[in-house]
Amino acid sequence: MIDVKQLTKRYGGTTAVDRLSFQVRPGSVTGFLGPNGAGKSTTMRAVLGLDTPTSGQALVNGRRYADLAHPMRQVGALLDANAAHPGRTALMHLRCLARTHRIGRARVADVLDQVGLASAAHQRVGRLSLGMRQRLGIAVALLGDPGVLLFDEPVNGLDPDGVRWIRQLMRALAAEGRTVLVSSHLMSEMELTADRLVIIGRGRLIADTTVSELTDRYRQGVLVRSPRATELAAVLTAHGGQVTPEAPGEVSVTGLDAARIGDLAAASGIAVHGITTRTASLEEAYLRLTADAVEYQAKPEPVGGR
């Protein structure tokens, strides 16, 4: 469990994280989303004891990182795939870490296997591809078999196979009952990986929700096709619906759900040829939620400027 409580972090005049509170619970993948500069990495660094909060707390299993008896056995993290010494082999890198944290050699072999690096164990880190270095970083995170895992932008620079592998790994770790927090600025990726979403902008909490709640919140009405669309529109309006004509024979309805529209049409003897509940894509929902928090936005093109 990760517990961020009223966390504030300032660097000089910049407030990177501003009274941020949220919890990350075991058994699911929690996506940590926000535009560039939102404060995701800073929050993760505070959880891992790498940054001291200006005020507030970031706790792992109820304790500050510095107070954990065996930190590597409780929390693992991938922050920077380039953190390993380029001159060491993957195996040596893991063995050194294992020795420092009193973790057996057998576990090193296990994690190399788990991340698919067994055949590259003797290659120097500097010669590994970005994808392989990401895998090595994940092996480090898993080394102590921790219950809490943080991954900062783990799919950056990976090919589609690597992306799919990471997605499956995150879900498998959560299914084992672990707490998994994974940051990204891509909602499209989180839509496929996460169950819960913590969305921040300019260091503040924007939403702490589930993927399905967010989709529901941005439901955009019901699209109805009928050969008698005009008559149907009158019936629906009389029963509290707001009806907007779309294409010929098609209306968009808000204020009534699909079941009620179907019942009203049936009761009036009006045939319906199609009825679809529309939702904004999660990507659209996310862009709307974070629009005010985007630091650098492309200027809209002037009208007639093409």
Ligand X SMILES: Nc1ncnc2c1ncn2[C@@H]1O[C@H](COP(=O)(O)OP(=O)(O)OP(=O)(O)O)[C@@H](O)[C@H]1O
CA nearest neighbour of 229 among 217, 211, 246: 246
CA 226 to mean position of chain CA atoms: 40
Least CB distance to ligand X at residue 193 (A): 17
**Nearer of residues 6 and 220 to ligand X, judged by Cβ:** 6
Least CB distance to ligand X at residue 39 (A): 4
Residue 16 binds to ligand X (criterion: CB under 6 A): yes
Residue 53 binds to ligand X (criterion: CB under 6 A): no
Bridge-based pairing of strands 204-210 and 196-201 is antiparallel
Torsion angles phi and psi, residue 156, rounded to 5: -55, 125
Binding segment (CB under 6 A) for ligand X, from list 29-37, 128-136, 188-196, 271-279: 29-37
Please state, in angstroms and rounded to a whole number, the distance separating the CA atoms of residues 257 and 163: 37
Task: Enter the tokens of residue 276.
Answer: 């679809």
Residue 134 binds to ligand X (criterion: CB under 6 A): no
Least CB distance to ligand X at residue 205 (A): 13
Binding segment (CB under 6 A) for ligand X, from list 38-46, 54-62, 173-181, 286-294: 38-46
How far separated are the first and last CA of the chain, in Å rounded?
A: 52
Classify residue 96 as left (phi > 0), alpha (psi -120 to 50) or beta: alpha
Task: Enter the tokens of residue 83.
Answer: 């953190």
Task: Enter the tokens of residue 196.
Answer: 């819960």
Least CB distance to ligand X at residue 46 (A): 10
Please state, in angstroms and rounded to a whole number, the distance separating the CA atoms of residues 237 and 120: 67
Residue 36 binds to ligand X (criterion: CB under 6 A): yes
**Could you please report the per-residue DSSP string of 110-122?**
HHHHHTT-GGGTT
Residue 11 binds to ligand X (criterion: CB under 6 A): yes
Residue 244 binds to ligand X (criterion: CB under 6 A): no
**Nearer of residues 14 and 244 to ligand X, judged by Cβ:** 14
Binding segment (CB under 6 A) for ligand X, from list 34-42, 216-224, 265-273, 281-289: 34-42
Least CB distance to ligand X at residue 282 (A): 18
Residue 185 binds to ligand X (criterion: CB under 6 A): yes
Contacts of 244 by beta carbon, 8 Å cutoff, 6+ apart: 251, 252, 253
Residue 38 binds to ligand X (criterion: CB under 6 A): yes
Least CB distance to ligand X at residue 197 (A): 14
| Interacting residues toward ligand X by CB under 6 A | 11, 14, 16, 34, 36-42, 185
